[in-house]
């Protein structure tokens, strides 16, 4: 069933054996199985993986590259192919592996993002790092 059907009140899901269940039951089963939400790109490629996958996939990295264009640190010119995909909210703190929680950072800036000696601030899609005192 489509996401719209899954979220609609009074909708029913059809299982592969032909039996039916309510959309609410389907949502609960999907949630318990960890398969929702998964957002698909134009070629039905999963782009948002929720908490089921830790590392960003190849297709997510392509989408991040198209969106970010390269390292999102202010003044950095590293191209998308030279960047790491970074979780804005860390995976270790229940951060999701999805495009809204991802950004590209070059290896240098990615190290700074995880270094407690530096603070990272976001300014309109770009990030800046300052040494904590």
**Whether the model pTM is above 0.75:** no
- β-bridge mates for residue 84, sequence order: 105
Distance separating alpha carbons of residues 86 and 17, to the nearest angstrom: 41
Q: Distance between the two ends of the chain, CA-based, in angstroms? A: 53
Residue 15: burial class (beta carbons within 10 Å; 0-12, 13-18, 19+): exposed
**3-state secondary structure (DSSP) of residue 18:** coil
The H or E element that residue 16 is part of is none
pLDDT digits (tens, 9 = 90+) for 20-69: 777 677 766 766 665 544 455 555 555 566 666 778 988 889 889 989 99
pLDDT digits (tens, 9 = 90+) for 64-122: 998 999 999 999 999 999 999 999 988 888 888 888 899 999 999 999 999 999 999 99
Give me the residue spans of the domains in the chain: 53-131
In the chain, where do the E strands start and end?
Answer: 12-14, 20-22, 39-40, 46-48, 84-87, 102-105, 118-123, 126-131
């Amino acid at each position: 069933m489509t996401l719209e059907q899954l979220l609609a009140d009074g909708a029913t899901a059809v299982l592969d054996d032909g039996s039916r269940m309510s959309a609410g039951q389907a949502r609960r089963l999907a949630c318990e199985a960890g398969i929702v939400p998964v957002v698909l790109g134009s070629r039905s490629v999963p782009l948002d993986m929720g908490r089921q996958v830790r590392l960003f996939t190849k297709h997510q990295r392509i989408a991040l590259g198209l969106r970010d264009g390269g390292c999102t640190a202010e003044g950095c010119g590293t191209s998308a192919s030279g960047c790491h995909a970074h979780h804005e909210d860390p995976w270790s703190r229940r951060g999701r592996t999805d495009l809204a929680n991802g950004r590209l950072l070059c290896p240098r800036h990615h190290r700074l993002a995880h270094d407690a000696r530096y603070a990272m601030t976001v300014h309109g899609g770009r990030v800046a790092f300052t040494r904590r005192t």
